[in-house]
């Protein structure tokens, strides 16, 4: 399967920090902004083993025989970045303010235990500007 990876301007915050991936043979695409949390993906449903699910197994793998799944988070509350001491960073979208407070609570609980977290940063688009908050 062929793919393209690029960094593009985010449709939400307009910063050039939006990871774009396209599997051009299947037509799958995903966008994720590391500054504001914007996320848009169109992928095809798969089995637990990672095989594409087909509407009609007799027809084989054809675009019109696949089950599309679209995710769009166009106005996220923000994005988190958890930097580990040994590995890289884990990033994810916080869809709502409630998600933000749940995330803060989870980080607070985890910080009381032995952990491998080096730093946690929340990044948000506020009044057209990206604001970052280091919470650990």
Phi, psi of 122 (to 5 degrees): -110, 130
- Mean of all residue pLDDT scores within the chain: 92
pLDDT in tens, 78-110: 999 999 888 788 999 999 999 999 999 998 887
| pLDDT tens digit sequence for 54-70 | 999 999 888 889 999 99
Answer for the pair 31, 20: CB distance below 8 angstroms, yes or no.
yes
Strand order in the sheet with 89-94: 89-94, 78-84, 117-126, 129-134
Strand, helix or coil for residue 120: strand
């Amino acid at each position: 399967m062929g793919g393209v990876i690029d960094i593009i301007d985010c449709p939400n915050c307009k910063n050039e920090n939006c990871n774009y991936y396209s599997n051009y043979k299947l037509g799958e695409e995903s966008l994720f902004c590391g500054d504001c949390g914007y996320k848009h993906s169109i992928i095809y449903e798969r089995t637990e083993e990672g095989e594409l699910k087909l509407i009609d197994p007799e027809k084989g793998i054809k675009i019109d025989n696949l089950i599309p799944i679209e995710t769009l988070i166009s106005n996220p509350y923000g994005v988190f970045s958890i930097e580990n001491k040994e590995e890289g960073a884990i990033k994810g979208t916080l869809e709502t303010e409630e998600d933000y407070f749940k995330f803060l609570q989870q980080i607070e609980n985890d910080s009381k235990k032995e952990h491998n977290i080096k730093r946690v940063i929340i990044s948000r688009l506020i009044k057209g500007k990206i604001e970052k908050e280091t919470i650990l």
